[in-house]
A and B are shown apart, each in its own frame.
Chain A
Amino acid sequence: MDTAANHVGFVMAAYLLSFLCLVALATFIIARDRRLKAEVELLERDRNRKKTS
């Protein structure tokens, strides 16, 4: 790619925007998955403890 060509700023902006949005989406989805997984484990542990006591 010729970085001195016309309108290269638009090309870079398009790639940067795509990268940021997709990374943000992936981070949000993975973080939600981990948070909920930890919450389920905690709740199940509490339930088992209550059942045994």
Chain B
Amino acid sequence: MQYLANPTRFLKLTNPLIPLAWWVMFILLAVGLYGALVSSPPDYQQGESVRIMYVHVPAAWMALFVYSVMALASAVAVIFRHPLADVAAKTAAPIGAVFCFLALATGSLWGKPMWGAWWVWDARLTSMFVLMLLYLGYIAIWQAIDEPHRAAMIARIVALVGFINVPIVKFSVDWWNSLHQPASVFRMSGPTIAPSMLWPLLVMGLAYTFMFVALHLIAIRAEIAARKIRQIHIAEIGER
């Protein structure tokens, strides 16, 4: 892991991965969308509305996954003082926030025809809303504090403390009575969803994952450039 601490080495290693991640993402997205919109059957109760699942559920998975990546990167920054760990956490946050927003918005578009309400304050929806606030709070810290080391210290605490919300989101449908349906894919006793609906869902989930990988690597590269610009400006001020 320390081998990647050097930004030049990191970029040399990851730059070829970006086009690869894009290509895999595009192929998976094409296959996933075909499965979601063409080959998978309508639900016997929800009808065609069930197709919202193929964009809603992967977005929700990614919102949780990206926050976990941020928490892991923050832990690595605290324990190992890895110079790129804070960069990884910082650049993951806006991507995770967009996935979280999409999970909330597409969930709302699914809720209206199925529940008759755009929004209900039940455990799953409320804990997802808290996750959105955590993302926004984390981004706000980096935006509000000019000094990067101070911002990083506070951001790490938010990412690590906020991680407690991730299992709350996951298990909220088991711990409390909820309008939201219980877990039907990642369960101890296996998925309860029909295979014809499961495979497009998993392929879409993988497509979103590769999209995150590509965007995250580009965002890390941009943040490394931003820090280099800052260093050049500081060096110029020192030379005067």
The answer on a CB contact under 8 Å between B232 and A10 is: no
- B213: CB under 8 A from chain A? no
Chain A residue with minimal CB distance to B216?
Answer: A29
Give complex CA distance A7, B49 in Å.
6
Q: Is the CB of B232 within 8 A of A26?
A: no
Query: Which of A2, A8, A18, A39 interacts with B102 by CB under 8 Å?
Result: A18
Given known A10-B112, A22-B211, A44-B232, contact A36–B98 (CB-CB < 8 A):
no
List which A9-53 residues lie within 8 A (CB) of chain B.
10-11, 13-15, 17-18, 21-22, 25-26, 29-30, 32-33, 36-37, 39-40, 43-44, 47
What's the tally of chain B residues with a CB closer than 8 Å to chain A? 33
Q: How many residues of A contact B (CB 8 A)?
A: 28
Of all chain B residues, which has the CB nearest A36? Answer: B225
Q: Which stretch from B52-60, B137-145, B148-156 is at the chain A interface?
A: B52-60
Q: A14-B56, A33-B218 are in contact. Are A43 and B232 (CB under 8 A)?
A: yes
Q: Is the interface of B mostly helix, strand, loop or mixed?
A: helix
Report if B105 contacts A (CB, 8 A): yes
In the complex, residue of chain B having the shortest beta-carbon distance to the beta carbon of A6: B47
Q: Write the nearest CB–CB distance from A19 to chain B, whole angstroms.
A: 9
Q: What are the 10 closest A-B residue pairs judged by CB atoms, nearest first?
A: A36-B225, A33-B222, A7-B113, A5-B48, A14-B106, A18-B55, A14-B52, A14-B109, A7-B49, A25-B98
Q: Knowing that A5-B47, A7-B48 touch, tell me 12 more A-B residue pairs with CB under 8 angstroms.
A: A1-B38, A5-B42, A7-B47, A8-B48, A10-B113, A14-B52, A25-B215, A32-B222, A33-B222, A37-B225, A39-B225, A40-B232
Interface residues in chain A, defined as those with a beta carbon under 8 Å from any beta carbon in chain B: 1-2, 5-8, 10-11, 13-15, 17-18, 21-22, 25-26, 29-30, 32-33, 36-37, 39-40, 43-44, 47
